[in-house]
Every structure is written in structure tokens, then in C-alpha cells.
Amino acid sequence: MKLSDIIEQYIQQVFAEENTVELKRSELATMFNCVPSQINYVISTRFIPELGFYVESRRGGGGYIKISRIDLSKTDYLYDILDKIDDKLSQSVVDIYLKDFIRYNMLDEKAANLIRVALSDKSLIRVDKQKRDRVRADIFKCLIVNLD
């Protein structure tokens, strides 16, 4: 498993117990034996505002990074996502969304997998490459509205 995945897992695990995660960047970096900026990478690719996470931090002595999550109803959460996806969506971001949907029981593995497949580059192979992320976004938005 990739380092980023391991770090993500660790943070998610804390989230499972607490409603907010406060961490020290340099400590985490030491813990996972990587450079501090790796932590930023993990956060910026996985704990994204599109999923309702927001991140605060403070530098200097006693600095920290705090990740919290807006507790939205399912409907609001989906609306929020609809709002934030503009008109392009990559395959890897779809994966991130789906993982989240599963975590919050909005989808089962099977359904998530169907969506993943439908939105894969494989499926969309005949759509012009420049248009693909746009079509993906369209399909995804349609699907979101129909989740229930």
C-alpha cells in the first residue's frame, strides 16, 4: 500500500472516533518517516472541501493542523457536492467521492463499483479526451441526483 494511503487511513481512523482531527504535521511526518510536506499532499488530495472537509492550521510554536467535517444531512451533502463539481471530473476524483459515499453508507460496494466502471476511461474511450472529464461530470451529477 502507498504511503499516502496509509497516512489517509490513519487520519480516517481518528475520524471514526472523534469528530475532528487535530494533528502536528512534523510529528506525523516523523511517525510515517516522510517529509512534512507529504502530510500536506495527503490532506490536499483526500480531505478536500468537495467532500465537506475543512482544514485549519496554525504555524509557529504549538502549531497544528485541524481537520473537521461539516455535518450535513445526506441531501445537503449531495447538494453541496453538486455545487462544487463544476464541469470537469477526473477518474481519480470519482474514486475519492465513491469511497466517501461508501463510508457514509450512501452506497453499497456493488453500486459504487458500477458507477466507477460506468465513469471509467475505459467506458468513455470513444469520447474525445478533452471532453471526457466533462461528460464524466455530467453523468456523475445525474447519478447523484438519483441516489436514494
Partner DNA sequence: ATGTATAATGGTCAGAGAAAGTCAAACGTT
Partner DNA sequence: AACGTTTGACTTTCTCTGACCATTATACAT
Interacting residues with a copy of itself (CB under 8 A): 1-2, 5, 54-56, 61-62, 110-111, 113-115, 117-120, 122-127, 131, 134-135, 138-139, 142-143, 146, 148
86-105 residues in contact with DNA (CB under 7 A) are 90-92
Whichever of 78 and 115 has its CB closer to DNA, that residue is 115
Q: What is the DSSP string of 127-145?
A: S-HHHHHHHHHHHHHHHHH
Pick what 25 binds: a copy of itself, DNA, none; C-beta below 5 to 8 Å, kind-dependent: DNA
18-57 residues in contact with DNA (CB under 7 A) are 23-27, 34-41, 45, 55, 57
Rounded distance between C-alpha atoms, residue 98 and residue 133, angstroms = 16
Rounded distance between C-alpha atoms, residue 133 and residue 76, angstroms = 24
> Under a CB-based contact definition with an 8 Å cutoff, are residues 51 and 100 in contact?
yes
Coil, strand, or helix at residue 61? coil
> Given candidates 9, 13, 49, 64, which one binds DNA under the rule CB under 7 A?
64
Pairing of strands 53-58, 64-69: antiparallel
Binding site for DNA (CB under 7 A): 2-5, 23-27, 34-41, 45, 55, 57-65, 90-92
